[in-house]
Chain A
Amino acid sequence: MMSDARTIPVIPESIFDGERGSGCLIANSGEVVARTGGLPDGGGWVEAMTAIRRDADRAARHFGFSAWDAVVIECENGVIGVAPAPVTAQGAGALAVAACPAGSPPGYVRRVLRRLVSLAGTGLNGGGE
């Protein structure tokens, strides 16, 4: 579990292939453990994301899905993607979240999420590119 005194690792912006975006990894505790781009301060969005994960887990079980890959939220002004991420010994990444520009193709959002999930699995060394 990361302490407040430690710098939150920065996720490389290269995950967005040169496009605008923001992203983060959220631990099971609800703590943001890695980030990139301009994420909102407050607004309860982290809590909303962890609640979406719980609901998605339940929905997958209810419908007999073996697993779920992502929840994609298409909004007027942007697209938000959420994906389950592996929990590491460092406590990183139970959830990957990506916020992408409006109209981003589904494949692009999934690609960004896959990269975030991969980072959660391999660990983050801190610092950015």
Chain B
Amino acid sequence: MVSMETAIPEREVARLSARADVRLALAAGERDGLVVHAAGRDAGAADAAAALFASVYRRARAAAAAHDYGTPQLLRLQSPDGEVLAAGSGELVFVLVAERGANLGRLRLDLLAAAGASA
């Protein structure tokens, strides 16, 4: 039986991964970096992506706290070949790997909406 706690992140990951310009979407535990849900054509890379970006998100929290900047809301790894976006939601972090040339403005909004829906 799927609880509400897992249904919403699963739904949001499915929604994010449905876009043609998204290679991978996942939700992972921020503390342990373990995948909760993953989808997309690069879903095979989810485990490593989750561990890496949960780690980056934790470091981002430390840096934000040291600067007295509050909570990180969105994190972006920018590259000429694509972009990875991450947003925290309670104990989870949502990660999205975008193709080169993706509509990043739209993906940013979609990711923040997903994180907000799961909070």
B 66-112 contacts with A by CB, 8 A: 66-82, 84, 97
Nearest-CB distance from B75 to chain A (Å)? Answer: 5
Task: Report whether A62 and B77 are in contact in the complex, using a CB–CB cutoff of 8 Å.
Answer: no
Q: Is A125's CB within 8 Å of the partner chain B?
A: no
In the complex, A64→B97 CA distance in Å? 12
Q: Is B20's CB within 8 Å of the partner chain A?
A: no
Q: Which of A67, A68, A73 contacts B60 (CB 8 A)?
A: A73
Nearest-CB distance from B58 to chain A (Å)? Answer: 8
Which size bracket describes the interface of B in this complex? Answer: 20 to 34
Task: Report whether A74 and B72 are in contact in the complex, using a CB–CB cutoff of 8 Å.
Answer: yes
**Main secondary structure on chain A at its contact with chain B?**
mixed
Which size bracket describes the interface of A in this complex? Answer: 35 or more
Nearest-CB distance from B94 to chain A (Å)? Answer: 14
Q: Is B34's CB within 8 Å of the partner chain A?
A: no
4 extra A-B contacts, CB within 8 A, seeds A73-B64, A74-B74, A74-B76: A40-B67, A51-B59, A56-B56, A99-B67
Report, nearest first, the 10 A-B pairs whose CB atoms are least far apart.
A43-B66, A76-B70, A45-B66, A75-B69, A78-B69, A65-B79, A48-B59, A48-B62, A40-B66, A74-B74
Chain B interface (Cβ < 8 Å from any Cβ of A): 23, 42, 45, 48-49, 52-53, 55-56, 59-60, 62-82, 84, 97
